[in-house]
Structure 1
Amino acid sequence: MLSRLRRDLLSSIVAVVALTVILGVAYPLLVTGLSAVAMPDRAGGSLVERGGTVVGSKLLAQDGRRPVVGADGQPQEDADGDPVLQADPRLFQARPSATGYAANATAFANLGPNSADTRDATKANLDAYLALERPYDHDLTVAGVPADAVQTSASGLDPHISRRNAWIQARRVAATRRLPYARVLELVDDATDGRALGVLGEPGVNVLALNLALDRASSSTSGGAR
């Protein structure tokens, strides 16, 4: 009986060690190596640099909001002590995020479509979107707001927005940056990625790439000064 127990225990230990080496070490190294050869940019995180400094990844959305500063020149805080944020009007805004755009905590809201919390969150996002965009697009209605402007993505870090969403935001960005609307639309087109494999999903506008292109366009228009 003890001999059989020892054999079973030894077999279990060998299996755990072997599977750990194969699936926990060898397989990840193999996949990483193949990825580095076949698609080095993606394997390295699709990092985006500006002036030699990494400013983000093409695969991750960034928070386009900025702290609200009070009359005393200090950032305002909410009841929980967190900074109060508002959308930067000079930037295209990514989709709402359930994680506050934290790349180390990707998740979705995990709320059902009939949830009161989902209704309230969507209503709050809708109101904020209309308040931001209507001053520059007086004809914008609730029915004209794209779903991706008010709903979070599954990861909370989707780097893309729909073209419809980008076209609406383009009026605000063009006005605040004092760029021709047509020029901003050209940059939207340049930052648009096509369907996956040519057939899956819809084209999407990469927000980080678009905002960086806008910075370059604004700098060239103002003679190199922001």
Structure 2
Amino acid sequence: MAFAQDASKAVRFTLVWWVLSAVLYPLLIWAVGQLFFPYQANGSLIEVNGQVVGSELIGQPFTSDEYFWSRPSTTEYSVGEDAAPTGVSGASNLAPSNPDLITRVEETAETLRQAGIEPTYDLLYTSGSSLDPHITLEAAQAQIERVAAARNLSPEQLQELIDTSIDGRSLGILGEPGVNVLKLNLALDAFSPA
């Protein structure tokens, strides 16, 4: 009889904790997010003319000379009219000695040099998550000449645009200042339509 009571108590205890931790807690967190932080809780999506163009939290590829290029990403971006703009995420987990990584970095460096861009580390390598939407100020400045020529703008105008697009350190102390490439390119389009 004691075993049956203990087993019953254990099952009830497990069910109560399951309801608390797997149902009520997630609902509470979701409700707080939707009530106090709806923009962030829903993906920090950026809209232009009522159309979602991406998330300020996930990097996107840009290949046109009229835009600043992002750092490489191993994400598989969705394509097509009905595709989500942010794609599927995931890191490559390639070791620094992996031949595939070495080949990709060499090819990327050559592509950058052919475009007149001195390769910087963040234009050559993915971030740890492979999702980082930011590049360093150095990487943005390395692309000024190419974008200025493609858009018939002066390098000074682009430098000013970069300076106004800098995201500072998180909490004022974490990380380095950088530029969100999607937001910079949207500001560039608003400044000078492609």
TM-score by length of 2: 0.84
Q: Report the AA paired with residue 4 of structure 1.
A: F
**How far apart in 2 are the matches of 1:172 and 1:104?**
27
Q: Which residue of 2 aligns with 1:20?
A: 18
- Identity over aligned pairs, percent: 38
Aligned to 2:123, which of 141, 149, 170?
149
Does residue 158 (structure 1) correspond to residue 141 (structure 2)? The answer is: no
Q: Which residue of 2 aligns with 1:117?
A: 100
**How far apart in 2 are the matches of 1:105 and 1:122?**
22
In structure 1, stretches of 5+ residues that fail to align are 65-86, 220-225
Q: Which residue of 1 aligns with 2:82?
A: none
CA-CA distance at 1:39 after TM superposition: 3.0
Aligned-residue Cα RMSD (Å) equals 2.3
How many equivalent pairs are there? 187
**How far apart in 2 are the matches of 1:19 and 1:170?**
56
Alignment of 1:1-40 (within 5 A): 4=3, 8=7, 10-11=8-9, 13-40=11-38
CA-CA distance at 1:118 after TM superposition: 2.3
Does residue 198 (structure 1) correspond to residue 181 (structure 2)? The answer is: no
**How far apart in 2 are the matches of 1:44 and 1:211?**
22
Structure 1 residues 123 and 15, CA, compared in 2 at 3 Å: closer, same or farther? farther
Structure 1 residues 12 and 113, CA, compared in 2 at 3 Å: closer, same or farther? farther
**How far apart in 1 are the matches of 2:31 and 2:141?**
40
**How far apart in 2 are the matches of 1:186 and 1:173?**
13
**How far apart in 2 are the matches of 1:15 and 1:208?**
49
Does residue 98 (structure 1) correspond to residue 96 (structure 2)? The answer is: no
CA-CA distance at 1:189 after TM superposition: 1.6
SS of 1:205 mapped into structure 2: strand
Structure 1 residues 40 and 114, CA, compared in 2 at 3 Å: closer, same or farther? same
Does residue 45 (structure 1) correspond to residue 21 (structure 2)? The answer is: no
**How far apart in 2 are the matches of 1:104 and 1:30?**
28
Structure with more contact order per residue of length (Cα contacts < 8 Å, sep ≥ 6): 2
CA-CA distance at 1:25 after TM superposition: 2.0
In structure 2, stretches of 5+ residues that fail to align are 79-85
